[in-house]
Amino acid sequence: MLKKIVRDFCIVFGLVALYASTSRNAMQYLSDKRDRNAWWGTYQCPHGDLISMSYLDFIGSFLLPEDKTRIHPPPYNGRRKTVLFLQGDSYSWHMNDTDFCGLVDYKHIPRRTKLNYQLDTTRTNILLLEIAEREVRNYLSTQSIFEEIIDSANSPKPTISKVVGQHPVYMAGAIPALTTDLLFNPYINQNLQFNLFNYQFIMPIFQSKAALNYYAFSRASGDVVISDDKNYLFLKETVSYTDAGSSYIPIPDAEIEKLTVNLNIIYEYYIKSGFTEVYLAIIPNSATIVQPKGYNNFIPRLQQAVSLKMKVIDSYSFFKSADHEYCYHGDSHWNYWAKQNWLALVNKELVKY
């Protein structure tokens, strides 16, 4: 009898955990309720995202510095007539209208959210697509952008091809291909870990394991890898030889060509919708800049494609040649210096309008 009760409880618990980890609304509710420093709360990631993912809070060289630098608004006294639509990820979440030159309005569109826009044709409307290098290949192989930046005039959406290595699989068709993404949240593994294991009271266990891996085997835990020089932490997917977001995985010329075609489709669609110009701004993986040996040259190959119509904010070339640290040692994001200089590159373009 007891075995049946335990069995049934585990089945019900598993189904509830699976549902909660698949539902966007459920995950938002749980995240809001557990976002606090209590025994049942989530680990607060106080020292950097990669440190927190690997539980290496006890390694001082990886901790975020007490950087009191702040972004300085650009000196600008010219006309303000530009509306900037910036679709971006965590690199641009905290940017404000005062960080840019000549803006009369600023709309930030976090990736995977929706914005129905209606352009004011008396203004200069600029669309800036900021995207981390590790996301480019997957994101530009889907129709997502047309579902996230939506013309209120309901202009017909073009079709983008899904790129899988050298073999493009086209998205056109009345019946979509049956994939696990149709059934489950694509982030279900992370969500399950959040719901089952990411609790304050469990952290000492993970930190003990992390200490063993680090001191005994010179390795990080989870989805984090230590750099060759032992000074930086990298997101595992950016340094593997199997993940689409890697800085080192070989990428055939045929895929670069197909991604270029997709970018041109995106460019022509939004220009036709009324945007004055569309820019692509790829933010390099930390490994791309810090550990360049063996780099697949994905960013320059794509940005320098002869047939590419979209304009480029080339931060890769700037950061590659700069004699300054680009990112934090225990966080996947750039530091204030890099952010300030990226904004300078963007503003150099904005003042042209």
pLDDT at 182 over 70: no
Provide the whole-model pTM: 0.82
The amino acid present at 183, given as its one-letter code, is L
Residue 333 or residue 208, greater confidence: 333
Q: Which two tokens stand for residue 208?
A: 């003990």
CA torsion angle 81 85 89 94 (round to 10): 40
CA 208 to CA 228: how far, in whole Å?
23
Find where tokens 């008396």 sit: 122
Region 240-263: mean pLDDT is 95
pLDDT at 160 over 70: yes
Mean pLDDT of the chain: 85
Backbone phi and psi for residue 189, each to the nearest 5 degrees, phi listed first: -65, -45
CA 264 to CA 241: how far, in whole Å?
28
Cβ-proximal residues to 39 (8 Å cutoff; 6+ apart), any chain: 199, 200, 201
**Confidence (pLDDT) at 208:** 85
The terminus-to-terminus CA distance of the chain in angstroms comes to 75
pLDDT at 29 over 70: yes
Backbone phi and psi for residue 143, each to the nearest 5 degrees, phi listed first: -85, 5
Residues belonging to the chain? 353
Confidence band of 40 (pLDDT split at 50, 70, 90): low
pLDDT at 165 over 60: no
pLDDT at 183 over 90: no
CA 99 to CA 118: how far, in whole Å?
24
3-class state of residue 251 by DSSP: coil
Q: Which two tokens stand for residue 323?
A: 């004699």
Question: Of 269, 6, 59, 218, whose CA–CA distance to 227 is shortest?
Answer: 218
Confidence band of 186 (pLDDT split at 50, 70, 90): low
pLDDT at 176 over 60: no
Q: Which two tokens stand for residue 22?
A: 């698949």
**Confidence (pLDDT) at 221:** 82
Q: Is 6 exposed, middle or buried (0-12, 13-18, 19+ CB in 10 A)?
A: exposed
pLDDT in tens, 189-206: 767 766 666 777 777 888
**Confidence (pLDDT) at 309:** 97
- What does DSSP say about strands 311-312 and 277-283: parallel, antiparallel, or unpaired? parallel
Confidence band of 5 (pLDDT split at 50, 70, 90): confident
Between vectors from CA 349 to CA 347 and to CA 350, what angle results, nearest 5°? 60
Distances (CA, A) of 120 to 125, 126, 183, 274, 284: 8, 11, 39, 9, 33
Least confident interval from 18-22, 79-83, 126-130, 329-333: 18-22
Where are the chain's structural domains? Answer: 48-172+200-353
Q: Is 353 exposed, middle or buried (0-12, 13-18, 19+ CB in 10 A)?
A: middle
Region 74-100: mean pLDDT is 91
Cβ-proximal residues to 347 (8 Å cutoff; 6+ apart), any chain: 74, 76, 100, 101
pLDDT at 322 over 60: yes
- What does DSSP say about strands 82-88 and 124-132: parallel, antiparallel, or unpaired? parallel
Are 91 and 283 a contacting pair, CB within 8 Å? Answer: yes
pLDDT at 152 over 90: no
